Amino acid sequence: MDRRSMLAFLGASPALLGGLPASTAKAREKVPSSPSSNYESEGRITVMNPAIAGKLAMRVPLVTPLDNLDNKTIYFVNLSWEGPDAANYFYGAMREWFDKHYTGVKTIVKVTAEGMFGSDPSLLKDITANKADAAIVGVAG
């Protein structure tokens, strides 16, 4: 497949090919010179490979679904997307719905200490200590 066909397939204009040599020439000009390297005279640049390793993450089987929700404890874990208070309305509505439809369900709302990008060991200990039956994690308002 030639470049024009490939660009058309990707939805890009073949006119992009016109600017390619000029941009590489500018990139060569921006390469810092180092006295110990002979690459500058040859016009070479270093390119990093952004590809990830081919190793897959360890697979963990899913837990079996609950048979019913009678006398169960469900944690609602707020990951603080858009701030720690952004999901309060949503979690409040979920608690009201559970109270109306499943009177035996105990719902507990917790906010993670480290936000959406960290793990919160104290929260995990709390969930384990209270023997939670389920958790809804990551819902935001």
Condensed to tens digits (0 to 9), the pLDDT of residues 24-45 reads 555 555 555 555 555 555 678 8
Is residue 55 a contact partner of residue 115, using CB atoms and an 8 Å limit?
A: no
Round to whole Å and give the CA distance between 112 and 134.
16
For residue 25, the model assigns a pLDDT of 53
For residue 8, the model assigns a pLDDT of 66
Is residue 73 a contact partner of residue 132, using CB atoms and an 8 Å limit?
A: yes
Q: What are the DSSP calls for 17-44, one per residue?
A: GGGHHHHHHHHHHHSPP-TT-SHHHHT-
The stretches in the chain having pLDDT less than 50 are 22-23
For residue 132, the model assigns a pLDDT of 93
Backbone phi, psi, residue 74, to 5°: -120, 125
